[in-house]
Amino acid sequence: MASHRRSEPGSLDRNTKVGMLTAAAAAATAAAITVVPATAAPALPKEPSATVRAQVDRLFEEAERATERFNEAGERADRLRADVGRARDRLARAQDRINTMRGLLGAFAGAQYRSGGIDPAVELMLSEDPDDYLDKAATLGRLTDHQARQLDELRKEQRRLGQERSEAARKLVELEAVRADAAREKSVVTTKLAAARRLLNEMSAQDRADFERASRTGDRDGALPDPPADGSFGPASGRAAAAVRAARSAVGRPYIWGATGPSGFDCSGLMVWSYRQAGVSLPRTSQAQRYAGRRVPLSEARPGDLVTYRSDASHVGMYVGNGQVVHAPHPGARVRYDPVGMMPVASVTRP
């Protein structure tokens, strides 16, 4: 009879132990694999250049638009200041004429006063300072036709003087509003530029160099041939040629927003200064420069033509031939040559 040995309580046979040990080892190995952090491939360096450069370009573009609005406000303020000055001159002259008329009529009023009566209309006209008029009362005895005409002219002058005063006051209010506009645009420009500088400061030196190259030229290596050494950019009129020479002489000078040279320029300021050297007065803003002459197709551009960019004409350069413009690109850059097609062309204008 076969005998059966009972297993001791809590004991495991060998095969069971081996199986359980194998399962435990497998589980431990799996757990170890699960908790070990992944270090297979190093993280790729983040690629800020495209995004950051696009942000900086956008900020510079917005600052440039605000700069042109600031320039426009400044130009309007200059016109209004001139208008206010002329209005003040007219007021002074009108007041002198009224004072003279009052003096002549005052003499007549004095004579009438001594004779026992004074015309109510004359009294009304002269009521501000009757004593002064009564001192001149020795020469006239009665209101002649000539004096009646003087009285009528005095009334008209007083009405004109009131209108001049109202107009001068309106111009002063408008001037204050324009000054406030300019202050707001200045704040926009400085805010945008500060944000752009912060982004630029976060770039590596290589990224900044790439941005400078790509900011207007489309990131083309060796984008432009050198300009001709003899300055021969093709046919141009005498004044256009003089403006081109002036613009070329400004190459290398810094972009300074709101500036019209000679030490620095914004985009439209460079055009103003260059044509001023040729004896030609241009409007201050790129938007106004767009209409400061005859419009021509880009295919017919000549040296000295003004090339405006973007649909709102918020940037401008001067065509100098050889497929190039000279322009002040943006804050932080210097006046330089770039391809005429660096941005969408809005118009070409021949002053």
pLDDT digits (tens, 9 = 90+) for 330-339: 887 899 999 9
* 297-321 b/e (C-beta count within 10 Å ≥ 16 → b): eeeebbbbbbbbbbeebbbbbbbbb
pTM: 0.61
Burial of residue 126 (CB within 10 Å: 0-12, 13-18, 19+) is buried
Looking at residue 288, its pLDDT comes to 94
C-alpha angle 312/75/345, rounded to 5°? 20
Residue 123 contacts residue 77 (beta carbons within 8 Å):
no
Task: Name residues of the chain where pLDDT drops below 50.
Answer: 1-47, 120, 124, 130-143, 217-225, 230
Which amino acid would we find at residue 219? D
Residue 67 carries which side chain, given as an amino acid letter? T
User: What distance in Å separates the CA atoms of residue 168 and residue 84, rounded to the nearest whole number?
Assistant: 6
The fold for domain 233-350 equals endopeptidase fold (from Nostoc punctiforme) (3.90.1720)
SS3 state of residue 323:
coil
Residue given tokens 């005998």 in the structure block: 3
Q: How far is the CA of 180 from the CAs of 77, 158, 184, 186, 260, in angstroms?
A: 10, 33, 6, 10, 22
Residue 315, pLDDT score: 95
DSSP percent split of the chain into helix, strand, coil, nearest 5? 55, 10, 35
Q: Which residues, other chains included, contact 343 with Cβ-Cβ below 8 Å and sequence gap of 6+?
A: 216, 309, 310, 315
Q: Burial letters for 190-206: b for 16+ Cβ neighbours within 10 Å, e otherwise? A: eebbebbeebbeebeee
Judging by DSSP bridges, how do beta strands 306-309 and 294-295 pair with one another? unpaired
What are 262's two structure tokens? 């000679």
Question: Which residue in this structure is represented by tokens 């005063």?
Answer: 165
| Active site positions, annotated | 267, 315, 327
In whole angstroms, what is the distance from residue 132 CA to residue 111 CA?
Answer: 13
Tell the residue number behind the tokens 């008029």, with chain if given.
133
Q: How far apart are the first and last CA of the chain?
A: 127
DSSP class of 319: E
Radius of gyration of the chain (CA): 41
d(CA 33, CA 48) in angstroms, rounded, equals 34
Domain boundaries, the chain: 49-205, 233-350
Q: Say if residues 339 and 227 touch (Cβ distance below 8 Å).
A: no
- Rounded Cα–Cα distance for residues 149 and 128 (Å): 21
Q: Using the CB atoms, write b or e for 55-91: b if 16+ within 10 Å.
A: ebbebbbbbbbbbbbbbbbbbbbeebeebbeebeebb
Query: Ramachandran region of residue 99, left (φ > 0), alpha (ψ -120 to 50) or beta?
Result: alpha
Q: Which amino acid is at 116?
A: G
Cα 81 from chain centre: 20
Query: Length of the chain, please?
Result: 351
